[in-house]
Chains A and B, each alone.
Chain A
Amino acid sequence: MIRFLFKGLLRDRHRSLLPFIVTATGVMLTVVFHSWITGVIGNSIEFNARFAAGHVKIMTRAYSENAAQTPNDLAILGTDTLLNVISAQFPEMDFVERIYFAGLIDVPDHTGETRAQGPSMGMGIDMLSGNQAEIERLNIPSSLKSGSLPGKRREVLISNAFAEKLGLESGDTLTLVGSTMYGELALYNFTLCGTIEFGTTALDRGTVIADIKDVREALNMDDATGEILGFSRTGYYDHEEASLIANRFNKSYASERDEFSLIMKSLAEQNNMGFLVEYSGTLQGILVFVFIMAMSLILWNAGLLGGLRRYGEFGMRLAIGEGKGHVYKTMLLESLIIGILGSMAGIIAGMGISFYLQRYGIDLGSMMKNASIMMPQVFRARITATTWYIGFIPGVFSALFGTMLAGIGIYKRQTAQLFKELEA
């Protein structure tokens, strides 16, 4: 009987082609949207993680309460030992120290008088230890606009636009005017070695990137750091993993009474990033639901039209002695076959597109130019385990659901009524 139905489906393109195309298209879109949304949200999360939040971040409690001001007077002390301890305690994370600082960049002329000046946001990261992790995390090599990466102490990178504004070129000297960890005036000379452009306004206005050792020296932060960022070795932010680690950390380090006690925050707990993380899950649910509804409606109608065309056939089958329930079941079985085949075709097509989008991505840099939030320039789809099967849910479900609705109309008709169609 199944073979018999199969033959009918293959030969009767009215019966199979439209539902097949509808299912395959819907499933393809579901798959592509899923991987794309997962990718875009994931990309935004990772971008924020890399530049600002980490997957988790350790700060002193006092620092964390004012983290936007990067109050380095509330920095973490004894970082060398601490790093060793937490690296052993949380081997699933890669921990790095960063010092974010605000300051004035002053460009002196040959007499030492100020030639140009501008406010800057600085970042002290590890660039000279030989470990490339941070340099790559911040995508510095491919963001280099001119000059080269720092090769020795006191070399610094600044935003290309900032350099132009200040009239700076590689090799020029610039002075950081800031305040030390103890609130004293800090003056520190750097040599410009290159300029960078990330393609994101928020980062391209006045960023200064220096090696953390120089920043420590400049701000008198010996064996101290503003923040310790932790990155999951999986490469992706996993909210559950991050929360668990933060809980474990806080159990042993955090204290309500001591404002210099350490506290760990997951990415979702920082800078209103929580909504992105939550959004991602909700969006998947909405997506599948919308596709089920839309496709069910189309397939319901297709099923009704197909059913009308097949009244004669159904009537004859009842006359031959097939039970009504059996006719209905064969309709469902037919739609299940189409649903599965259509879903497989849709998944193959959707995966093809998703793999392309994952590999090459889409450059939305021009749209992001003026975005004040931190967003990457190139968005890529991201295929997860869910992407592989999510298409089956709307595909099979709507095929069955559409036929069920269409079938009820046929099923409800009196047998004798179906026979009227046979007499003509």
Chain B
Amino acid sequence: MNDEVIIKIEGLKKHFPMGSGRFTALNGIDLSFGRGEFAGLIGPSGSGKTTLLNIIGTLDVPSEGKAIILGESVGDLSAGASASMRKSQLGFIFQSYNLFQVYTVFENVEFPLLLQNIDASKRKKMVLDALEWVGLTDKIKSKPAQLSGGESQRVAIARSMVKRPSIVLADEPTANLDAANSHNVLQTMEKLNRELHTTFIFATHDDKVIGYVRRKIFLFDGKVAKDEKIEQN
């Protein structure tokens, strides 16, 4: 299951301009991920988790080194090519859900499919499937403001999963949730990971998340300090 490498990172560095000099947020990262992994980037604040996640997500580019995602080198992608990669292959989940406030749950989940010009009847089925996965079929007409935090994050999961991406990147997905909701959300993602073989990569320092992941990559000062795989069956 883990033998197909879909993310390959080699000698990755990321510098940000700072004052007259520059600040190195990632300082030589070598990592690879196989299909179906459920991995966590773990580390203190400022260790570079989000920066790495953004590069994997083609939202940012390496300063040095390479990041090959699904066979494409992030630094070499045109804006259009990286957008189309995100459109079909990458899903994002953020700490603050970032649902579109004026749209219903159904419409929020539908949006990625609209971008792909999928026709209405197929779209409807895919949206309902995705809401089924996260157990929210009874809320399709609700607006984000009417949902609890846990429900909102589950809608965000459905929105990131509806197009069945290869990779989902989740940046602190439980940071705004209480324990019960955190577990619920994590169980939902774990189930989707098993059923759909979607690769999940988390950026987190939450112990609850760490308890679920099957691979723990510890980042410290922009470097991989430890990379632990937990064998399960």
User: Which A residues lie at the B interface, using CB under 8 A?
Assistant: 1, 4, 7-8, 11-12, 15, 312-313, 315-324, 415-416, 419, 422-424
Q: Are B83 and A318 interface neighbours, CB within 8 A?
A: yes
CB-CB < 8 A to A7: which residues of B? 102-103, 107
Cβ < 8 Å to A, chain B residues 152-175: 159, 171-172
Q: Once bound together, how far apart are the Cα atoms of A416 and B171, in whole Å?
A: 14
- Cβ contacts under 8 Å, B172 to chain A: 423
Give the A-B pair count, Cβ closer than 8 A.
78
Measured between C-beta atoms, what is the minimum distance from B60 to chain A in Å?
4
Chain B residue nearest to A317 (CB atoms) is B111
Contact B112 A320 (CB under 8 A): yes
Q: How far is the CB of B77 from chain A (nearest CB, A)?
A: 12
Set B80, B86, B101: member contacting A320, Cβ < 8 A: B86
Residues of A within 8 A of B54 (CB): 416, 419
Contact with A along B123-158 (1 / 0, CB 8 A): 000000000000000000000000000000000000
Known: A4-B107, A7-B103; 19 extra A-B contacts, CB below 8 A, are: A4-B103, A4-B114, A7-B102, A8-B102, A11-B102, A312-B98, A313-B100, A316-B100, A318-B86, A319-B57, A319-B59, A320-B112, A322-B115, A323-B83, A415-B79, A419-B59, A422-B98, A423-B95, A423-B96
Question: How far apart are the CA atoms of A321 and B92 in the complex, in Å?
Answer: 10
Residues of chain B whose beta carbon lies under 8 Å from any beta carbon of chain A:
50, 54, 57, 59-60, 79-80, 83-88, 90, 92, 94-96, 98, 100-103, 107, 111-112, 114-115, 159, 171-172
> For A11, what are the chain B residues with a Cβ–Cβ distance below 8 Å?
102-103
26 contacts between A and B (CB under 8 A): A4-B103, A4-B107, A4-B114, A11-B103, A312-B98, A316-B98, A318-B59, A318-B83, A318-B86, A319-B92, A321-B84, A322-B83, A322-B87, A323-B79, A323-B83, A323-B84, A324-B79, A415-B79, A416-B60, A419-B54, A419-B60, A422-B94, A422-B98, A423-B50, A423-B95, A424-B96
Residues on B with C-beta less than 8 A from A419 are 54, 59-60
Complexed CA–CA distance, A96 and B90 (Å): 84
| Residues A321 and B90 in contact, CB atoms below 8 Å apart | yes
Distance (Å) between the CB of A15 and the closest chain B CB? 8
Tell me the smallest distance from the CB of B76 to a CB of chain A, in Å. 16
Q: Which B-chain residue is minimally distant from A313 (CB atoms)?
A: B100
Chain B residue numbers with a CB within 8 Å of A321 are 83-88, 90, 112, 115
Contacts of A416 in B (CB 8 A): 54, 59-60
Which residues of chain B are within 8 angstroms of A316 by Cβ–Cβ distance?
A: 92, 94, 98, 100
Say yes or no: A12-B50 contact (C-beta < 8 A), given A319-B92, A320-B86, A321-B90.
no
With A8-B102, A416-B59, A424-B96 as given contacts, are A319 and B111 in contact (CB-CB < 8 Å)? Answer: no
Roughly how many angstroms separate A12 CA and B100 CA in the complex, as a whole number? 11
Please measure, in the bound complex, the distance between the C-alpha atom of A423 and the C-alpha atom of B95, giving whole angstroms. 6
Closest to A414 in B: B60
7 shortest interchain CB distances as A-B pairs: A321-B87, A321-B86, A11-B102, A416-B60, A12-B102, A323-B83, A316-B98
- Please, which residues of chain A bring their CB within 8 A of the CB of B102? 7-8, 11-12, 15
Given contacts A316-B100, A321-B85, A321-B90, contact A415 B95 (CB under 8 A): no
Q: For A322, list chain B residues within 8 Å (CB).
A: 83, 87, 115
Which chain A residues border B57 with CB–CB below 8 Å? 319
Set of chain B residues within 8 Å of A313, measured between Cβ atoms: 98, 100
Residue of A nearest to B203 (CB): A423
Instruction: State A322–B88 Cα separation when bound (angstroms).
Output: 10
The residues of B that contact A4 with a CB separation of less than 8 Å are 103, 107, 111, 114
Are B86 and A319 within 8 A (Cβ)? yes
